[in-house]
Structure 1
Amino acid sequence: MIELYHCHDARSFRALWALEEMGLAYRLHLLPFPPRFLAPEYLAQNPLGTIPLLIDAETRMTESAAIRSISRHAMAPRRWRSAWTSRTTACGWTGCIAARRR
């Protein structure tokens, strides 16, 4: 099952909205903001302490725009899962690089 770590009024709402729109089953973990200071146990899941964190089997994503862009692939058959994981990694790095260029 997909797990989403979310804070009220944070960018993680993008991922939450995408999961709801697609009707996917997920487990929601609601955290206080900012979790790196107010929920230190969360650092075991995401050492950066940033929100969101989406976990689906072996895939872990922390970039809200990439999660939203890629989440439609979660509905694809399992045989396509390896392609999704590769694309997830690529989009994660793309988001990281774009943020550093600003």
Structure 2
Amino acid sequence: YVNWFRKDKDGKFMWPGYGENSRVLKWIVERVSGEGKAVKTEIGYMPTPDAIDTQGLGIKPETMEELLSVDKEAWLKEVESIKGHYKTYGSKLPKELAHQLAALEERLSK
């Protein structure tokens, strides 16, 4: 998961969005085909900063690194939010969802 709506310190979007999102979809297709470069993170496999074609966008390599970084504190807050949502399902929540969320929280806490 990447927050493509992330803003830089000047409040400008780091990723142009819209039609340029096809570049991300291209990486996804490459990845499931066994070709897309990725790095294992606490939240799963993420594209390497050079894995997504940014040619012609004027995006600096360090901007891609920031976009693809994992903010553990933000993710731990998200985990708490998801826990609250899961509670609304009570005993109907599939156990595997609760298990995966607990595993995610554990990985983020290391």
Q: Which structure has the higher relative contact order (CA within 8 Å, separation 6+)? A: 1
Q: Which has the larger radius of gyration?
A: 2
Calculate the TM-score normalised by the size of structure 1: 0.25
- Compare the two structures and name the one with the higher strand fraction: 1
